[in-house]
Amino acid sequence: MEIIGISLDAIQSFLAYLVTATALTLIYVFVYIWVTPHPGLTQRKADAFLESKFAKIL
């Protein structure tokens, strides 16, 4: 039974590490996207807007 207790402690530590790493990664990605300009994103929005206008005309 002692082995099971040690395993459960290890699983809890691993899950805490995994959740922390995932949260920090997501924070990094959101900050990176917010700070770094992406002209391609606005271009895709403009292209989609124009496509919708042309689709209505045709």
- Tens digit of pLDDT for each residue in 4-41? 667 777 888 899 999 999 999 999 999 988 888 766 66
Query: Residue 53: which domain range?
Result: 2-57
* pTM score above 0.85: no
The CA-CA-CA angle for residues 25, 11, 15, to 5°, reads 20
Mean pLDDT value of segment 41-56: 65
Q: Inform me whether the pLDDT recorded for 1 exceeds 60.
A: no
Provide the number of structural domains found in the chain: 1
pLDDT at 10: 86
What CA–CA distance (Å, rounded) separates 41 from 48?
Answer: 11
Q: Inform me whether the pLDDT recorded for 54 exceeds 70.
A: no
Q: Inform me whether the pLDDT recorded for 3 exceeds 60.
A: yes
What CA–CA distance (Å, rounded) separates 31 from 40?
Answer: 18
